[in-house]
A and B are shown apart, each in its own frame.
Chain A
């Protein structure tokens, strides 16, 4: 009897969660279908070349951001944990700074420094996109660092490193063949979060005048009624598709990873 009641409470909480998550989506869907004829908002959005163009641009930027921030963070977190564990709290603090410093401040700083010689990045498209990536690396830093750090803590990096070293492996080999493959789950979760951040970000992309998805969505909502709702839902679906694709690429045939321990 008691168990039954417990499971009813559990289902109630679950239902509330589902409602919280899906009600806005359902409302948006409902609103987007009010256009006449019913799917006009969707057809017109999909026919707008700026929609697919900006989405594609943002996906590419997300890919570059994820790659670059992993290349930066994995060796750093690894080195800190292996060689200077005392500096860990300092590094952690630094990675939390994006929570404290607003994106507007960050982007004005970037523009001030990189819009004139000797570093006139903003004068070219590729330069501005590079600045955008740099900004996104900073924004995703707290999530990415935390994910990687947690992943590193779940394996015995010291012993694995020393075992590899004693067999003749250098640092690059160790990172590439031993550390990275064992961080798969951590890297995936970091990548998901970064992807979500990049697709929804408005401020930095807007000030750098990049044709990204965030500014496009914003512009749309100022000029149209039903289309923004439709585009939000489409992009929501596409984001999920992208995440599933990443998860599929990084899938693991093994069910669990365990180190040491007799059993």
Chain B
């Protein structure tokens, strides 16, 4: 039995279905992210766990106890908001101690715990400041401490870093994860930033249009996307239209050049068009050993992305394929227009459920 369980949770706003048949079982102490594009129902799901919205059907349990229809102040769930939502009339210390005062805990206990929490977020000297005297990152750390003060069973965070600068965002997300590990608190984290979700989570729930597309560890989500939506939303991806040549042998043709998938292609007949996903980093700029897949075409673009260089190769007269190589000062890159051969192992070519919408489009997602 899991610690936080959502089963068959559904939420409608009028005729519009915001969340459809949501199923999630998390272990105690697990860090789970809800990842998906804007409007896919992440916040709505989180708000149902917090009690700010009630599901139309389904149930939500924490530690075996049904909380589906409890009001938010009767649940033991902490929440961190995108806009911090610190009480402007209270100091940092009173903000953090608010929940304990509401629960009528003793003055000494409050002072002690507030001190510990401020220590934990590295802000003990800011106890008497007001929220307006703090930076955004500091405000969000106070909001985190405030949510943790009442020792909630579950911690919920709704895009807590999206109002912050890129640098602070990375520092603070690592801090959040460290604190979460230290306390062992079960956490649900909402984000539309795939890098955030992949780097923080034990498991990621990818959502689209109110539905769960896939639940898995970051490496499962990235390396073995279950649907073409997941494949295109997470990471950069080449999506190529391929004609099935021999399904049982996994043989395909892309623009007349034959490649092989590692597994037989189930549910497709020869001659049919399927879409093949290829990560840019799994393709290398060399002929490769015997048995690898090879594609040949002219270089159309070379772009430096810091530690890596991304090349684009045109296949036939249509699609292009992107590939990443590490940036090495000794590397001699082919000039634009020169025909090159690139290779990738059969395991790298992933045949997806649906035919490619735009053949040969290379889809970039995230920031």
Interface size class of A (residues with CB under 8 A): 20 to 34
Cβ of A162 and Cβ of B150 under 8 Å apart? no
Residue in A159, A169, A261 whose beta carbon sits within 8 Å of that of B73 in the complex: A169
Residue-wise, chain A 180-194 has the 8 Å CB interface mask toward B (1 for contact) of 011010000000000
Q: Which residue of B lies closest to A167 (CB)?
A: B99
| Chain A: minimal CB distance from B172 (Å) | 12
Cβ of B150 and Cβ of A163 under 8 Å apart? no
| Chain B: minimal CB distance from A257 (Å) | 5
Cβ of A160 and Cβ of B85 under 8 Å apart? yes
**Known interface pairs A155-B88, A156-B83, A181-B89; A167-B165 also in contact (CB < 8 Å):** no
- In the complex, what residues of A have CB within 8 A of residue B150's CB? 167-168
Report if B44 contacts A (CB, 8 A): no
Q: Which residue of A lies closest to B99 (CB)?
A: A167
- In the complex, what residues of A have CB within 8 A of residue B163's CB? 260-262
Report if B345 contacts A (CB, 8 A): no
Cα of A173 to Cα of B147 in the assembled complex, Å:
17
- In the complex, what residues of B have CB within 8 A of residue A173's CB? 102
Within 168-182 of A, Cβ neighbours of B (below 8 Å) are at: 168-170, 173, 177-178, 181-182
Cβ of A165 and Cβ of B131 under 8 Å apart? no
Cα of A205 to Cα of B99 in the assembled complex, Å:
47
Cβ of A261 and Cβ of B81 under 8 Å apart? no
- In the complex, what residues of B have CB within 8 A of residue A260's CB? 83-85, 136, 139, 163
Report if B78 contacts A (CB, 8 A): yes
Report if A256 contacts B (CB, 8 A): yes
Cβ of B87 and Cβ of A162 under 8 Å apart? no
Cα of A263 to Cα of B79 in the assembled complex, Å:
23
Residue in A156, A166, A184, A256 whose beta carbon sits within 8 Å of that of B77 in the complex: A166
Within 150-187 of B, Cβ neighbours of A (below 8 Å) are at: 150, 152, 163-165
Cβ of A262 and Cβ of B165 under 8 Å apart? yes
Besides A162-B50, A169-B98, 12 other A-B contacts (C-beta < 8 A): A160-B87, A162-B52, A162-B72, A162-B85, A163-B87, A164-B102, A166-B51, A166-B77, A178-B89, A182-B89, A254-B130, A262-B165
* Interface CB pairs A-B, < 8 A, 6: A155-B88, A159-B83, A164-B98, A166-B51, A169-B98, A182-B88
| Across the A-B interface, the 8 shortest Cβ-Cβ residue pairs | A262-B136, A167-B99, A159-B85, A258-B132, A181-B89, A165-B72, A166-B79, A163-B85
